[in-house]
Amino acid sequence: MTRLPIDRIRPCWSKGEKLGTTRRFVDRSSRSHALTYSPSADLLLNVSLLQTLTASWPESLIILIEHGYWLRVTLGAQLLGERAFKELSPGQISSLASNPDPLKNLDPDDRSSHLSKILIPRPPDTENNTQVKNYIASVMKRLDWGVEEDSFVSDTPYGPKRFTNVIATKDPDAPRRVIVAAHFDSKFFSSYPQNQFVGATDSAMPCALMLDLAEALDPLLNRRKEQLEEGLLEDEDVADTTLQLVFFDGEEAFKDWTDMDSVYGARHLAEKWTSTYLPPRSKRRLSTTTTELASIEHLILLDLLGAKDPRVQSFFLDTAWLFDALISSEQRLADSGALGLNVDVKGFKSFFVPRKDTLHNYGFISDDHVPFMQRGVSILHIITNPFPRVWHKLKDDASALDKDTMIRWNLIMRVFMSEYLGLEPDEKKGKLSRDNGDLIDLQVDIVMATRTKHARAAAPVRFAPEEIEDFDMGDVQDDDGVIDMISIMQEFQKKKNAKASTRSAAFQTKKNALISGARKEAETMAREGRAYIEQCKTRIDEMRAQETVTDEMMKDVMQLWSVHEDSFQALLSVYPELIEDLSPQRAQIVNAASAMLETHPLAREASRKRLMKNARKNMEAGIEAQKVV
């Protein structure tokens, strides 16, 4: 036994549990409770158990202990996947915020929008559910993403139901992926009018947002791929991570939220990916064959979004840095003015509840992420807490959605995912696209011309990079000061280009080293493959030899079988004659037996008389003998 520190323990409660259940969870109706736990506490854990549980995920593990509490123990100081993002410039943020229109696909009044196609009653195993599923798949196929449908049948309180998860992947061959997920089914109600529930926040809007996110980022992902192929990408490691969208079916409970009546699609997919191994087909996948589940960097789950004034908390310490990145994305959007003129930056109210310190997190909410969390996947749960007032009510329709809120969520996810994936949107030129960091400080001579004399004064002047390149030498006359200024700017541009060239050379060297390593790895795998093929050939030859011996034995068996067949046929041919011979013999025996039965009584009577006669004689002789005496 040894003593290991715990870095977190949090209460968990489900989306459907109510106060008074046997678990010690926070009441859903209170909508305000949150519990924290100090990391200074210790817990005794069996070392062999830890070694067993951490065999597939050495950084950390999750253990379910009594009273419904999840315990996560982190082994090692560095949290999984934490890294610094390269932030987008204000110009890039403005460009990303305006193209495409962030409201068009989320507008319930627009019949062509993604949201209007999803905003219908869609319980699992219904025609509407299939209609929404097909629409989601068609949008992703139109973008030329890899689309997979994970269909299965599971028992429910209302009998067997068919569920289908939709998985869309930008680059199926990528060695790593970050998942953005939501459930596309709506809650089942058995009677009217409750069965008209459409779940606008739960979770039609998150699904529509994901489709819009794919359309907004798809050109940037294509550009990143082109830059990688041309060797122009500074951070090639980021390009190994692709974007995957998962639309879960069957998140809602049919009756009461339990472990078996909830998250049907998530439970099935997590179990499937645990045992599904990836083929080493990617040129960039240098690691050993791994499972689908092990290739997930983070699962980002969206739920209950779209209503006004949401409050989102950080539920997991290992993804708190991603939560902070969301806050940063929102703040920079507000600072750039991209959230709209009706947003006052000074009175700006964030969607996110700031963490009190680096070791603080809020309570746990049961959702589609749980089956993945139980298997060691890192989770970022973006869900409003308290829940919207319209939760599981008919009023959770288009009227529950706030357009400004939906736009902000859309832009936050665009900026956040662009920075996560290392994407480079174009700069949007204009006042909003420039800040102090984009300008170049140059010390130049300003020529102050008058009719009578020339005076020179040294002053710091700032130019944007594109303004340097846009100078036209034809506009310059004989003014030495202007010529000097242009010369300085041209010299600066040369130094800048030389520096960029040096950096590109370093990246090219790194790229060549990786390619060389990959080539060696491929050669090693090829040698091992050839050796394995030779072993297979040897085994096949042995099996063929055994097959020859078996054929000879079968010939002997067939000969014996032929003799057996002949004997059997001979016996069958004799059988009728035996029947004919047996019938007369049987008649003779019966007649003899009958005659015997007739003669035996007479013989027995004669024998009895003889015995009686002899006995009488003996008795008379005895009597006479006694008289003489």
Exposure letters 264-299 (e unless 16+ CB within 10 A, then b)? bbbbbbbeebbeeebebeeebbeeeeebbbbbbbbb
- Beta strands 146-156 and 8-13 are unpaired
Whole-number Cα distances in Å, 108 to 102, 397, 478: 13, 9, 63
- Whole-number Å distance between alpha carbons of 252 and 15: 9
Number of helices (H), then strands (E), in the chain: 11, 14
- For the question of residue 101 being annotated catalytic, the response is no
The count of residues in the chain is 629
Sheet holding 8-13, edge to edge: 60-65, 69-74, 8-13, 364-365
- Beta strands 69-74 and 60-65 are antiparallel
Whether a cis peptide bond, with omega within 30° of 0, leads into 172 is no
Q: Amino acid letter at 209?
A: L
DSSP lists the bridge partners of residue 442 as 461
Q: Which of 180, 179, 170, 173 is nearest to 224 (CA)?
A: 170
**DSSP secondary structure letters along 376-418:** T--EEEEEBSSPPTTTTSTT-SGGG--HHHHHHHHHHHHHHHH
Cα 500–Cα 232–Cα 437 angle in degrees, nearest 5: 50
Q: Amino acid letter at 376?
A: G
- Choosing from 171, 240, 303, 419, the catalytic residue is 303
- For the question of residue 303 being annotated catalytic, the response is yes
- Choosing from 202, 249, 251, 368, the catalytic residue is 251
Q: Read off the tokens for 72.
A: 């996560």
Whole-number Cα distances in Å, 589 to 298, 595, 600, 602: 97, 10, 16, 21
492 burial class (0-12, 13-18, 19+ CB within 10 angstroms)? middle
346 alpha-carbon distance from chain centroid: 40
Residues involved in catalysis: 251, 303
